[in-house]
Amino acid sequence: MEAHIVEWLNLTVRWIHMITGIAWIGASFYFIFLENNLNRIQKLRPELAGNLWAIHGGGFYYLEKYKLAPDPVPEHLHWFKWEAYFTWISGVALLAIVYYYNASFYMLDPGVADISANTAIGIGIATMVLGWLIYDLMCKSALVNKGWLFAIIGFVLVTALAYGLSQFLSARAAYIHVGAMLGTLMAANVFFVIIPAQKAMVKAALNGEDFDPLPGQKALTRSIHNNYMTLPVLFIMISNHFPSTFGNSNSWLILAGLILVGAAVRHWFNLRGKGQKNYWLLPASIIILLALVYLTRPIALPVSADASNVTALTDASAFELIDIHCSSCHSVNPSSTMFAAAPKGVVFDTLADIKANPSLIKAQTVNSKIMPLGNSTNMQDSERQLLGNWLDQLASPQAAQQP
């Protein structure tokens, strides 16, 4: 029953997280589009910075941007902040429901480090808090005005974080915490810098004072940083669907590559929006992506000494191996209290179930060591190797001819 409730909590909060995330990033993309497409020259009233006509959903829209605050300041002003806050709140809730609630399975990997579940959770939370403190210090230093240097140092630090986390947490947890840290920076930028700056602007306008442009400029810088983080964060949020990325033995390097591609593509869009042509960013991104495809190619595990002197698995012994290592979760009625139903609907109750999807099993268990989750059953490399050989045989033509 508890597992069932947790599953529905997961479903609901994940749904909310997606909706608010789409609203937040969607609004952010829309305002960047506006900035890049405003008419700033033709027939503008003197108080305007630009305007834009658009057609959408069967109606014409007309929008104006002011150089300074309008006079009087309108009573109803839309702020676009709750999308950001709720995306972060639902994200942290999801982190707790999925990762911290079952930390020993999702956060730990005994093949990586021998730490307790609480230590792992502590590392996860510290990543988000320290990440923000360091980033905020960087933004308050002179470094922030050196765009490229800031970007390079930021990228090196994120890569170092990915590497550091991969030395303590399961690869899955390491990935999601890099994403959670970046998401925290984005939401904290809105909460601590962008919204306060806007509040100061509104207050100054209401009091008829000249407003200090500095907070607004700082807010813009943070907003640009957020813009570059969106594409990498979006990938990390779906990364768990791609075991060849986080399941790779150099998972942190793959993540760094994908972050680079995301930021580069964002930069290309930003340049294009400003009417600047760039010919190398997209091809370079594609080359990095191809390099990642190559780096993550399936590699057979080395045959260990104890595996080489054992004969190949029979169907019965393969079934037994799966039964020991997988069936507590992957069964129509899982004996594990964590799951009310088989995770992802993947069931290994019969030999036919197992034979139905050899490549999926191989990807999770042989080409990477993602399954068993958290290696809770302590599956050995030699067992993975034997299972891999058996699965290969299933996929080979000779095996297919047998009834």
Task: List residues binding ligand HEC (CB under 6 A).
Answer: 105, 240-241, 325-326, 328-330, 336, 343-344, 346, 360-361, 364-365, 371-373, 376-377, 379
| CA gyration radius, the chain | 26
**CB nearer to ligand HEC: pick between 216 and 343:** 343
Q: Please name the residues in contact with 294: beta carbons below 8 A apart, sequence gap of 6 or more.
A: none
**CB nearer to ligand HEC: pick between 10 and 278:** 10
Region class of 56: left (phi > 0), else alpha (psi between -120 and 50), else beta: beta
**CB nearer to ligand HEC: pick between 212 and 315:** 315
Q: CB count, 10 Å around CB of 9?
A: 16
**CB nearer to ligand HEC: pick between 196 and 343:** 343
For residue 173, give the nearest of 129, 212, 124, 206 by alpha carbon: 124
List b or e across 40-50, with b for residues whose CB sees 16 or more CB atoms inside 10 angstroms.
Answer: eeeebeeebeb
For residue 38, give the nearest of 290, 363, 275, 319 by alpha carbon: 275
- Written as six digits, the tokens of 160 are 């170092």
Closest approach, Cβ 174 to ligand HEC, in A, equals: 15
**CB nearer to ligand HEC: pick between 24 and 100:** 100
| CB-based closest residue to ligand HEC | 326
Closest approach, Cβ 334 to ligand HEC, in A, equals: 8
Closest approach, Cβ 46 to ligand HEC, in A, equals: 57
Closest approach, Cβ 371 to ligand HEC, in A, equals: 3
Calpha distance 152→138 (Å, rounded)? 12
Region class of 210: left (phi > 0), else alpha (psi between -120 and 50), else beta: beta
On whether the CB atoms of residues 85 and 191 are closer than 8 A, the answer is yes
On whether the CB atoms of residues 359 and 395 are closer than 8 A, the answer is yes
CA distances from 211 to 35, 37, 77 (A): 21, 26, 18
**CB nearer to ligand HEC: pick between 124 and 215:** 124
Burial class (CB in 10 A: 0-12, 13-18, 19+), 113: middle
**CB nearer to ligand HEC: pick between 186 and 387:** 387
Closest approach, Cβ 361 to ligand HEC, in A, equals: 4
Closest approach, Cβ 318 to ligand HEC, in A, equals: 11
On whether the CB atoms of residues 296 and 245 are closer than 8 A, the answer is yes
**CB nearer to ligand HEC: pick between 23 and 340:** 340
Calpha distance 129→143 (Å, rounded)? 21
Closest approach, Cβ 370 to ligand HEC, in A, equals: 8
Closest approach, Cβ 47 to ligand HEC, in A, equals: 53
